Structure 1
């Protein structure tokens, strides 16, 4: 029964942690998120875990806990350390609870406080700022862009393009009555100006190739693992491509009128019309 109580505690603790981290994972894999959203979501989860580390929020994880019997480690693992003797059941479970949350918090902080993360945020701010307002003050981001792109972009040409880009997007924003918040939206709007703003187009492409800036590649591999499983690992490449298209774009696929597809298929030749006439 003591083992079951400890298992129940671990199960509840795991449910508490993975429920929130799963929300963060879903947010990170969204095609509409940007780096600032990623950072805010991670910080929110970290603050949440910090808050629930207090004793008052972990009392409901166990029901009248019983302290497990003190066991000495096996002789082959035994060292000079003395087994910890807890004064009460609450101290035992509280230590497990706090240490587990501390590990999760440290891993999240390590993941989202890498040195390149700030640099990518500044590159994102530069792209969004010159797309929505005057490029005044954009020189503050130029050094970061130089570190980010090295020899891939002509910085002087990018500086001169920044003023033209601001005017270009002013027309786009005023015409379409919108505000650009996502770089993926810029990449589609800027298709018209790819020849005019070649360095800016290069900067967007380089930015979107960084794995942390887009979850497209991760979603593609996740979809591949779901579609091409052990039961269907002998399918041809063409069938795999067709299945992936239907799986990835299932929302758009649900909006297609099946009756219209059937009518187009049947009416394409006389043999189908004779065979499937009753279905029209």
Structure 2
């Protein structure tokens, strides 16, 4: 790796910098690849999404709740979940968080939790969700975040498949109905053709019988 790097034959005569093989792989290849990946990640997530993920990370119980911060958790609730908590509940949430972190530091099982899923399950099994019901509600809202994000991504991916150049004049209602069938195709497979015909017939009387 300490040897001098020599470019390929087509570029060797234009090479002016005398660099080592290690510097070539580190600067010209590794750093460039990392910069491209960071640029792609920064372009993929908006500032609001990054702020949401950053504030959500303070809820993680790893390392004995090292990142647990009551102020940032309350900021998370005020900015992203204002319709799920009343102003009075936001005040009580801060007190619940302060009592919870004190109990977690003295409770061995709570202190050794590794993720939010285990914490939510532990609160339900021990009945502590009745005490920390606002904190439990926030955890459940955060846990549903990946599911809602994945559903949105699936919807946009399905839209590209359904609304092609040949189907560009498809109206919004027909597109929405088609997307529901495509996205929830596992559920739609449970519907029989006879049941669909019966429901269609029950809407209103038809001149033609829909019999197979």
Shorter-chain-normalised TM-score: which range?
0.3 to 0.5
Larger RCO of the pair (alpha carbons < 8 Å, separation 6+): 1
TM normalised by structure 2 equals: 0.48
